[in-house]
Structure 1
Amino acid sequence: MSDKPKIGISIGDVNGIGLEIIIKTLADPKIYEYCTPIVYGHTKVASFHRRSTDIGELNFNVINHPSQVVIKRANMINCWEEDVRIEPGQVTADGGKYAYISLQRATDDLLNGDIDGLVTAPINKDNIQNEEFNFPGHTEYLQHRDSKPESLMFLVSDTLRVGVVTGHIPISKVSESITTEKIVEKLKLMNASLHDDFWIRKPKIAVLGLNPHASDNGLIGNEEKDTIIPAIEEARNNDVLAFGPYPADGFFANGTYLQFDAVLAMYHDQGLIPFKQIAFESGVNYTAGLSFVRTSPDHGTAYDIAGKNLASEISFREALFTALHIIRHRKETAELNENPLIFTKLSRDRD
């Protein structure tokens, strides 16, 4: 039996680009040197999408449980028996139904310890809604399944890491949702992830303001003075090296982000727009603060190019390798925490 991590892959919306980027990623034989992938879907659906690519052959080894994997092969768990109507580029009820079945089965195996990590292909946050999935997105669903009070949507790349205080909520509710306690909690999650998952010994975190110009000393709102600055001060009292608040526009425009290990934005678009502008193809969405490792590409279903062999697999491949790096780092951190002197030396070497 191989000691390479077993990585579960949920297929996302069957009418989007999920299976196309999965197939293109798994067509690279080098993948199997680092992990054993398990796709949660159905071989018939995969065959449909393979025919729309220029991939010659990618034969899945069909299994019923992760314990049956064949190493150096792409493994598939058929999560349903019925035929599925596939309509590339269309938003359909079936697209959401089978995306959820794939995600639920993969998450079950993840929580049972049968797989070592999960990479999720893009879902449509609307058509996936049902009685069991009543969440704004993957992040909130997985946090619920893991019974965690908080998690952190953490966008990561080689040059930039961005987390958000508030995630998938209406912009009209952002201000009322930001509290000192919530910012401190997100900073602690980010700091712990940078240390344990990315092996940064003393992370430096920049905190963005909420208002234009970070309020200009209260001229444009009070959130900075009343909420954000006290959170930064409390975080620093808890050994988190947090700085700010910084005006978001100039912070990214003049490259100040390069001076920090990560950035905490106040809301979704404040952080994700610059992140995707700077690191779109190489960016990865990581859910920090959970007991397991989950990553995804930093893009959506891309219905407009589904079925046209135009989708790039770069972000999905980066998501897969990011999951593998974090799994390894977590394992090493757990082992080395038993000997702090060795951990300090090794983490200093990696700084």
Structure 2
Amino acid sequence: MKNEENIIVGISIGDLNGIGGEIVLKTFEDPRMLEFCTPVIFASVKTISFLNKHFNLGLNFNGVNNYNQIIHGKLNVYNVWNDKFNIEFGKEDPKMGAYAIKSLQAATQALKGNHVDVLVTAPINKHNIQSDAFNFPGHTDYLAKELEGNSLMFMVSDTLRVGLLTDHVPVKDISSHITKQLIKDKLDIIYQSLEKDFKIRKPKVAVLGINPHTGDNGVIGKEDDEVLRPTLSEIRDKGMLVFGPYAADSFFGSKNYKNFDAIIAAYHDQGLIPFKTLAFGKGVNFTAGLSKVRTSPDHGTAFEIAGKGEADESSFKEAVFAAIQIFKNRKEYEHLTKNILKTRQKKI
């Protein structure tokens, strides 16, 4: 029987030639993890048995072929395939990309069907996942389509939260992607997420400039003056506590980030380089703006150390913790919102 506190965590296994399998199994090597969540790995018993033996972990797990067979308080492995194949650690292989996508698709369907409560994804290789059947840059774009949301890449840790206006966009195309509507949409997502996912009332959000020194009054680009500043002004007029744009080069070094509940960066490296410098190993990639909760570790497949038993599971473990906490926060927010509506209706 499921305990209400025992949240079912669906896990996509990622690229099997990378460190995904290792960090997933190492996370649940700690039996205390099973006291407050029930993990379901989407792969196969054969695959997980091989990884368990290879890394000398000695884990016990429950193989399942349908959701009714999931045992709470145990590590479960849902059989997505029965194929037998060789895992070649450290090798980029389209076949492993195909299995990573099979795992992701099965886990996503389970999430959509409420068979699992949250989704935590192990790292994939963005190159070898591409096919006629799967044409997405990565997890975020695929999940935004499947879960019908306007997603935002939100890197979070205990002390820092960084969202992105643009994520996997070539540097030469960044400015053309940043429109007034995009800024409004992304800030709306991050503001709502801070309120319902992180329980922050009246969040304070800082926005980093697009150009160096936020354009220096048009000397180094006009986007900050013509697009970003007027849009932020409109958003502030609606009562949102949004500040900036700030020059990105000194924002983190000056520790100004500590004055805000979240920071919005204009593009991928502007936000992720400082985030990973300050929070690497403890950071989590959370996809805000979706109807369901999805998190992942803040690193990639790390082919260079795959199979050697050297991978650190800390970020994956943090991703599990974050998914569980966000799920609980959302439930609490929904409950409070319903109660407020009921109270207002009674007064009417």
Answer whether TM exceeds 0.5 for this pair.
Answer: yes
Query: Which amino acid is the alignment partner of residue 42 of structure 1?
Result: S
What's the counterpart of residue 267 of structure 2? Answer: 267
TM-score (norm: length of structure 2): 0.95
Indicate the SS of the match to 2:244.
strand
What's the counterpart of residue 17 of structure 1? Answer: 19
Q: Which of the residues 15, 22, 29 maps onto 1:27?
A: 29
Q: Equivalents in 2 of 1:156, 1:90: separation in Å?
A: 30
- Of the structure 1 ranges 188-197 and 26-35, higher mean CA displacement relative to structure 2 is found in 26-35
Q: Equivalents in 1 of 2:283, 2:249: separation in Å?
A: 20
Q: Equivalents in 2 of 1:310, 1:51: separation in Å?
A: 15
The alignment status of 1:65 with 2:66, answered yes or no, reads yes
Q: Where do 1:17-166 residues align within 5 Å?
A: 17-55=19-57, 57-148=58-149, 150-166=150-166
Identity of aligned residues (%): 51
Query: Which amino acid is the alignment partner of residue 6 of structure 1?
Result: I
Q: Give me the CA root mean square deviation.
A: 1.5
What's the counterpart of residue 188 of structure 1? Answer: 188
Report Cα offsets for 1:68-106 as digits up to 9, x if no partner.
Answer: 211111000011111122100000112101000000000
Q: Equivalents in 1 of 2:295, 2:67: separation in Å?
A: 19
What's the counterpart of residue 305 of structure 2? Answer: 305
Q: CA deviation at 1:21?
A: 0.2
Contact preservation (8 Å) 1:199, 1:329 = yes
Q: Equivalents in 2 of 1:261, 1:24: separation in Å?
A: 32
Q: Equivalents in 2 of 1:187, 1:120: separation in Å?
A: 25
Report Cα offsets for 1:142-162 as digits up to 9, x if no partner.
Answer: 0011122x2100000011100
Query: Which amino acid is the alignment partner of residue 9 of structure 1?
Result: I
What's the counterpart of residue 349 of structure 1? Answer: none
Q: Equivalents in 1 of 2:23, 2:293: separation in Å?
A: 20
Contact preservation (8 Å) 1:84, 1:94 = no
Q: Equivalents in 2 of 1:239, 1:67: separation in Å?
A: 48
Q: Equivalents in 1 of 2:257, 2:223: separation in Å?
A: 22
Q: CA deviation at 1:186?
A: 0.3
Query: Which amino acid is the alignment partner of residue 170 of structure 2?
Result: P
Q: CA deviation at 1:342?
A: 12
Q: Equivalents in 2 of 1:67, 1:268: separation in Å?
A: 41
- Of the structure 1 ranges 216-225 and 287-296, higher mean CA displacement relative to structure 2 is found in 216-225
Report Cα offsets for 1:155-200 as digits up to 9, x if no partner.
Answer: 0001110000111111111010001110111000000000000000
Q: Where do 1:157-306 residues align within 5 Å?
A: 157-306=157-306
Change (3 A) 1:85 1:171: same
Contact preservation (8 Å) 1:184, 1:234 = no
Q: Equivalents in 2 of 1:76, 1:97: separation in Å?
A: 19
Report Cα offsets for 1:281-307 as digits up to 9, x if no partner.
Answer: 100000000000000001000000000
Query: Which amino acid is the alignment partner of residue 46 of structure 1?
Result: I
Q: Equivalents in 1 of 2:279, 2:118: separation in Å?
A: 23
Q: CA deviation at 1:53?
A: 2.4
Indicate the SS of the match to 1:253.
coil
What's the counterpart of residue 318 of structure 2? Answer: 318
Contact preservation (8 Å) 2:46, 2:82 = no
Paired residues in the alignment total 341
Structure 2, unmatched stretches of 5+, are 344-348
Contact preservation (8 Å) 1:54, 1:309 = no
Indicate the SS of the match to 2:110.
helix
Report Cα offsets for 1:29-62 as digits up to 9, x if no partner.
Answer: 111111111000012222222233242x112201
Query: Which amino acid is the alignment partner of residue 114 of structure 1?
Result: H
Contact preservation (8 Å) 1:9, 1:119 = yes
Structure 1, unmatched stretches of 5+, are 344-351
Change (3 A) 1:341 1:144: closer
Q: Equivalents in 2 of 1:294, 1:144: separation in Å?
A: 13
Q: Equivalents in 2 of 1:303, 1:162: separation in Å?
A: 26
Q: Equivalents in 2 of 1:130, 1:60: separation in Å?
A: 32
Q: Equivalents in 1 of 2:291, 2:67: separation in Å?
A: 19
